[in-house]
Amino acid sequence: MPRIIAPLSARSVASLKHNGVGRKTTHPVGGVDGLYLVVYGSGSRSWLLRATVNGRRRHFGLGSARLFSLAEARERAKDWKKLIVDGVDPTLKKKTERKRRLSFEDAVALFSAAELNEVKEKERKAWGNSLRTHVVSSLGSRDVDSITSLDVAEALKPVWAQKREMAKKVRSRLDKIFVWLQAKGYRSDASPAKWENLKPILNPLGRQKPKQHRPAVAFTEAPRWFSLLRAKRSISARALEFLCLTAVRSGDVRFLTWREIDIEAKTWTIPPNREGTKLKTRHHTVPLTEPMLQLIQDAGELRFSDYVFQELTAAP
């Protein structure tokens, strides 16, 4: 059993001296097991905590006695002892916390390198340009762990007032970055770019614009419209017909190439990150019906490029 030391008063600790032997003298001060005052021959004084971490006896410096009082030293020793009980080396925890400090500008670059390296260059540039233009100027030097929803709202106010759609994109991108930062240990709190937290600050700047839907063909008119479409002979009409049958995005059809079509398997496989597609990480396979295959075969009779529905233009 270790010897229990009665807690010394601050006055008693102040009177402790170097004993004249060796470079330093170590005095137990009590209050926390393993807490000592170290008095050096030069007259300087510091706090020391002796503890066993993962089966190994360790000495931890708690700072100068000129900077920390006896009461403060005991509080620091208690905090470190709590970490030790959980099997955590306090010195490693401090190094980890120091390592995890990251400025927002560096965080944007880190996120881009880690998460946007497989997206199309155009989209990667759009991310970087929007954040540098609207956010980095105000938050760039800030530690990402210290940024609050109020900080994000203040940064977004100018673009929110002038370019609402761009502001929405920037907010969404910020949210993704802060969620990633929390997962990586650079933030202790949740994302400060959540809309529910920003809405009370940004909404007074202007009401949401009413949604305006694009005109659409009435359901009862769809058969007639489709008949009129089929009556047109242009390759663009065939592309639109193919688009209606497959229900994919227009870019997927406009940039459809022959190598994506497997006539025997009756499938169309859209690869990720090719021009015109929104797919990021996976292939998308579209089964082809007989009407779809007929459209492809008709386009094949006019084939003159890698694109299935390439419009033939006159030479200059």
Per the CB < 8 A criterion, the answer to whether 118 and 280 are in contact is yes
Cα–Cα distance between 238 and 240 in angstroms, integer?
5
CA atoms 13, 19, 22, 27: torsion sign: negative
CA atoms 136, 137, 141, 144: torsion sign: negative
Q: What is the residue type of 240?
A: L
Cα–Cα distance between 295 and 256 in angstroms, integer?
13
Task: Give the end-to-end CA distance of the chain in Å, rounded to a whole number.
Answer: 98
Same domain, yes or no, for 121 and 38? Answer: no
Same domain, yes or no, for 226 and 195? Answer: no
Is 211 inside a domain boundary?
no
Q: Which residues is 229 bridged to in the sheet?
A: none
Q: What is the CATH number of the domain that holds 133?
A: 1.10.150.130
Same domain, yes or no, for 118 and 200? Answer: yes
Same domain, yes or no, for 153 and 134? Answer: yes
Is 314 inside a domain boundary?
no
Same domain, yes or no, for 95 and 109? Answer: no
Same domain, yes or no, for 128 and 195? Answer: yes
Is 4 inside a domain boundary?
no
The whole-number pLDDT of residue 314 equals 38
DSSP 218: -
Per the CB < 8 A criterion, the answer to whether 80 and 59 are in contact is no
The whole-number pLDDT of residue 43 equals 85
The whole-number pLDDT of residue 252 equals 92
- Nearest alpha-carbon partner for 100 in 179, 183, 181, 186: 186
φ and ψ at 183, to 5 degrees?
A: -65, -30
Q: How many domains are contained in the chain?
A: 3
The whole-number pLDDT of residue 315 equals 37
The whole-number pLDDT of residue 1 equals 42
The whole-number pLDDT of residue 3 equals 61
Helix (H) or strand (E) holding 261: strand 261-262
Boundaries of domain holding 271:
219-300
Sheet with 24-28, strands from edge to edge, namely 24-28, 35-40, 45-53, 56-64
Is 310 inside a domain boundary?
no
Same domain, yes or no, for 193 and 168? Answer: yes
Here the tokens at position 11 are 């006055």
Same domain, yes or no, for 199 and 246? Answer: no
Burial letters 23-55, b for 16+ CB under 10 A, else e: ebbebbbbbbebbbbbbeeeeebbbbbbbebee
Digitized pLDDT (tens) for each residue of the chain, 316 residues in all: 456 678 889 899 889 999 888 889 999 998 888 899 999 888 889 999 988 877 778 888 888 888 889 999 899 888 888 887 776 766 665 544 444 578 999 999 888 888 887 788 888 889 989 999 999 989 999 999 899 999 999 999 999 988 989 999 999 999 999 999 988 888 888 999 999 999 888 876 555 556 677 888 888 998 999 999 999 988 889 999 999 999 999 999 999 999 999 999 999 999 988 888 887 778 899 999 999 999 999 888 877 788 998 864 433 3
Is 182 inside a domain boundary?
yes
Same domain, yes or no, for 94 and 70? Answer: yes
Sheet with 261-262, strands from edge to edge, namely 261-262, 267-270, 284-287
φ and ψ at 293, to 5 degrees?
A: -65, -35
The whole-number pLDDT of residue 204 equals 63
Is 268 inside a domain boundary?
yes
Is 264 inside a domain boundary?
yes
Helix (H) or strand (E) holding 227: helix 222-231
Q: What is the CATH number of the domain that holds 94?
A: 3.30.160.390
Same domain, yes or no, for 73 and 114? Answer: no
- Nearest alpha-carbon partner for 175 in 163, 156, 190, 160: 190
Same domain, yes or no, for 183 and 120? Answer: yes
Is 125 inside a domain boundary?
yes
Burial letters 169-181, b for 16+ CB under 10 A, else e: bbbebbbebbebb
Same domain, yes or no, for 111 and 199? Answer: yes
Per the CB < 8 A criterion, the answer to whether 285 and 267 are in contact is yes
- Nearest alpha-carbon partner for 178 in 132, 154, 129, 143: 143
Here the tokens at position 180 are 């990633």
